[in-house]
Amino acid sequence: SYELTQPLSVSVALGQTARITCGGNNIGSRNVHWYQQKPGQAPVLVIYRDSNRPSGIPERFSGSNSGNTATLTISRAQGGDEADYYCQVWDSAARVFGGGTKLTVL
Amino acid sequence: QLQLQESGPGLVKSSETLSLTCTVSGGSISSSSYYWGWIRQPPGKGLEWIGSIYYSGRNYSSPSLKSRVTVSVDTSKNQFSLRMNSVTATDTAVYYCASEHVVVDYAMDVWGPGTTVTVSS
């Protein structure tokens, strides 16, 4: 089965750029989705198909995907961006999540 | 605007069957645009996909849970359901239902608030 690898935690200074990676074998050939989950809340889709933002998601959130790594980039990080972030792909009818990354804004 | 709401017992005894229902409002479960999925999250852990179903009844389940899981749909009630048998303490989790947009590779664009299920001995 396909596996996705994320760092357990990422820290970013307020106002700087955070990058959260999602590794997988030739993940660049797949479409990656990203979710934000704040404590006690349901996940929210923030990026779909590698780099597309749903309506209502700030332009500060962007994504890329190439080779063996997909990346979620959060520009001008704010305190409200502190959350867990999960990547997800579709694999032979199964939906696969990465283990999640806790983003801390310092 | 599509909304989803999970419902079901919050406490299930070990070895028994967990049953949850997700009610869809603001749209039709018979839409060709969506699959309907179940995802869970054990305390302090990450998200785990359980299974998904189309309005026609076509469904898929996680290989690791497939032997214990049944996902079904009731178009007349605009609901879909999850049954998981032979539960143990490791099935204690928050259970979410979500819509999966077919056109965008099943991205889960709307989630229910989640319901906590505790398996007791």
Are the beta carbons of B104 and A90 separated by less than 8 Å? no
The answer to whether the Cβ–Cβ distance between B109 and A90 falls below 8 Å is: no
| Predicted pLDDT of residue A60 | 98
* The total number of residues written for chain A in this structure: 106
Judge whether A92 and B58 are in contact, CB under 8 Å. Answer: no
Please state the rounded mean pLDDT for residues A11-36: 98
Contacts of residue A22, defined as CB under 8 A and 6 or more positions apart, other chains included, come to A4, A5, A6, A32, A34, A69, A70, A71, A72, A87, A98
For residue A60, the SS3 value is: coil
Q: Best mutation site among B5, B36, B41, B61 for testing chain A: the one with the most A CBs within 10 Å?
A: B41
Tens-place pLDDT, residues A36-46: 999 999 999 99
Chain B partners within 8 Å of A96 (Cβ): 49
Confidence of residue A79 (pLDDT cuts 50, 70, 90): very high
Q: What is the pLDDT of residues A50-71, one digit of tens each?
A: 999 999 999 999 999 999 999 9
